[in-house]
Amino acid sequence: MPELLLATSNSGKAAEYRWLLRDIGYHIVTLAEQGIKESVEERGNSYEQNAQTKAIAYAQLSGLTTLADDSGLEVDALHGEPGIYSARFAGENASDSDKTQALLTKLAGIPWNKRTARFKCVIAIATAKAPVKLCHGECQGIISLEVSGQGGFGYDPVFYLPQFGKTMAELPSEVKNKISHRARAAKKARQVLQQLKT
């Protein structure tokens, strides 16, 4: 069975990808499992550039088919911020709760109808022999007024989905993994990975 390297050190993200890409005929491994300690800096000005840079670098380091992603939260009232800086929005090494609190603080006083936002995800798949393939996913929501829910990670506890009446962190993982930005990008990535095997 061919191996697929998940180029992330975020355990929550790795767990989601293992679920989203289950049963596609790859043995999924992580950077830690491969003993890869090198970190690849995200210096691009777009999700596409960041995902592609990581996928290519780790494919070269490992010799494996590699999946990397870059994702972020874009808030309309903040002119699309934090965007590609979502992970570093509250400073380097900030916890998830630091990030959500920084976001809520920045949106203090902004009315409900102006708190629209979207999660975006771009997956890059790199191999030694094929050009990099990009897969996009998006999920629309509203930034809630307070943190709610124990599930998920990152900004999930403040990302409210009107159609469910819940934040992303309040959804069962099997529901989140059908409707999230990552799920939508992964659905396209599954097709690319199947083609690479043939």
Which is the catalytic residue, given 70, 76, 98, 156?
70
Annotation marks residue 70 as catalytic = yes
What is d(CA 170, CA 168) in angstroms, rounded to the nearest whole number? 5
Query: Would you call the peptide bond into 82 cis, given omega within 30 degrees of 0 as the criterion?
Result: yes
Q: How many Cβ atoms are within 10 Å of 9's Cβ, its own excluded?
A: 13
Quick one: angle between helices 11-20 and 181-197, nearest 10?
60
* Contact by Cβ (8 Å): 177, 16: yes
What is d(CA 135, CA 124) in angstroms, rounded to the nearest whole number? 7
121-to-129, 135, 147, 182 alpha-carbon distances in Å: 24, 8, 22, 6
Which residues are marked as active site?
A: 70
